Structure 1
Amino acid sequence: MGLHRTTPPMDVVVRPMRPDDVPVAERLFAHTLVELEGSLATLDSPAPRLRSPQRARLWVQRTLRFVEDDPAGCWVAEENHSMTGFATSFRRESTWFLASYAVASDRQGRGIGKALLEAALTHSRGCLRGMLSASVDPRAARRYKAAGFDLHPQMTLSGPLDLSQAPEISHVRGGTSGDQEWMDSLDRSARGAAHGRDHEFLRETHHLQVLDRSSGRGYVYTDEAGQVAVLAASSRRTATRLLWYTFLSCPTPETTLSHVTAANQWAVDVGMAAGLSLSTRGYLGLRGLKPPTPYLHHGALL
């Protein structure tokens, strides 16, 4: 894909991101997301809230790894020495991933976002595939489409859990670093690249459960609320069992399952059987590959 460099406004500088930029980027991203959700909220929608301090720390920890490991994919836009936007991206094998991307609400529409995305996309040169998770922002969707990404609507299932139809699930165990080789193989089959060192980060910050049987293999990471962060399996049957397991193990009576594409109808079936309500939210952007399945992607590590 050819890149046509956009010049940002005269008073804006686009430069590589530094470690000390990351906490500032986290606040900018959090506030921009709350403002976007607020602009789209209906009268009966709950008021959007900033992420918890724990999730903010996790975002900073994860983004620092991108800056350290993939500095050529991480960029900041500054105006009068104040951050107005940023983009972070990384490469795993021959696939490029956009992790996060935001421009301050009062600075949008000036070409800053386009210049940042183009800077991050320079890190994708030589990659066969690309993957990103897009918000509902129509301007960002247009930029991704113009950059050569196909946009696939994402669904979210949420609400109180009804486990009356849950099957009995056995043979699920806690995962270890010894499982990573076959987990990476599942990643490659689904999205064209292993998570590699991202598995180490996910094991440190999430709960890992695996199903490793002759009939099928799969893994799932869940966060502190019991919600799925990423799930991959060798078959829809194995993926279905793992998802039911996460619902049965959920520490709260309600849950949310995000990042479900139409290619993963098995997840829609499980979510609806568990009494969850379905809605659409954002897009999965793909370049050079089909929607991964059976696979529920991570919002930033994809």
Structure 2
Amino acid sequence: MTTTGGRTAPAPTTRPPLQLSTVHPGATRRYRLAGFTLHPQMRMAGAVDRSALPAVRGLREGGAEDFAWMDRLDERLRGGGHGPDHAYMLDRLRLVVSDDPKRPGYVYIDEELGQGVLLAAEEERTSQDLLWEALAAARDDTLVNCITTADHWAVGVGLAARLDIGQEGYLAVRGMGEPAPYLASGHFL
């Protein structure tokens, strides 16, 4: 909290200037008029072809000790760290991280739903490995959301896993480029 002229006001927050938008014309118009650039998103869904799953190496289970470098990676990719959201997600989701500090990256996996929920990495090779790990956790059907044109590496993985591709709305960003390699979460952009 800050005090100005005897009044207490909430402390300013720094939130990355990104939002998810539906294809509804009113939503896209509002975001565009507010100065956001709209990046079309794709989604991939279906049953993973288990025979296509590669042996992925260089990953390990993550934990709270990884949050500091994860927030630094988030800062570079999306303009801000996830901060306390990481602890919340870790309590509910499986965290898998790159074992190589020169190739930082992470993915949260919802094992109940059998899908990756949020993925961020420094480079595409790590992103691909993390997405394959998430797809290996898939049950009957899975979903890969929030794929922008900057993340065509995810399209390649999804097509190799025999998932179907479709259009899903927009990632709206203001004052920054498309975060990549990055697959946003609807709840924790």
> Shared fold (TM-score greater than 0.5)?
yes
Q: Deviations over 1:53-106 (max 9, x none)?
A: xxxxxxxxxxxxxxxxxx97xxxxxxxxxxxxxxxxx94x3x34xxxxxxxxxx
Cα deviation, residue 163, structure 1: 2.9
Aligned partner of 2:66 in structure 1 is 179
Aligned partner of 2:167 in structure 1 is 280
**Maintained 8 Å contact 2:115/2:137:** no
Q: Deviations over 1:118-146 (max 9, x none)?
A: xxxxxxxxxxxx11001121111111111
User: Do residues 237 (structure 1) and 135 (structure 2) align?
Assistant: no
- Helix, strand or coil: the match of 2:104? strand
Bigger RCO of structures 1 and 2 (CA < 8 A, at least 6 apart): 2
CA RMSD of aligned residues (A): 1.7
User: Do residues 246 (structure 1) and 121 (structure 2) align?
Assistant: no
**Residue correspondences, number:** 179
Question: TM-score scaled by structure 2?
Answer: 0.89
Distance in 2 of aligned mates of 1:242 and 1:201: 20
Larger radius of gyration: 1
Contiguous gaps of at least 5 residues in structure 1: 1-70, 73-89, 97-129
Contiguous gaps of at least 5 residues in structure 2: 1-8
List structure 1 runs of 4+ shifted beyond 6 angstroms.
none
User: What amino acid sits opposite 2:142 in the alignment?
Assistant: T
Q: Deviations over 1:142-181 (max 9, x none)?
A: 1111111111111000011113232211232221110011
Aligned partner of 2:99 in structure 1 is 212
Distance in 2 of aligned mates of 1:149 and 1:280: 19
Aligned partner of 1:300 in structure 2 is 187
Whichever structure has more helix as a proportion of its residues is 1
Aligned partner of 2:151 in structure 1 is 264
**Maintained 8 Å contact 1:133/1:300:** no
Aligned partner of 2:22 in structure 1 is 135
Question: TM-score scaled by structure 1?
Answer: 0.57
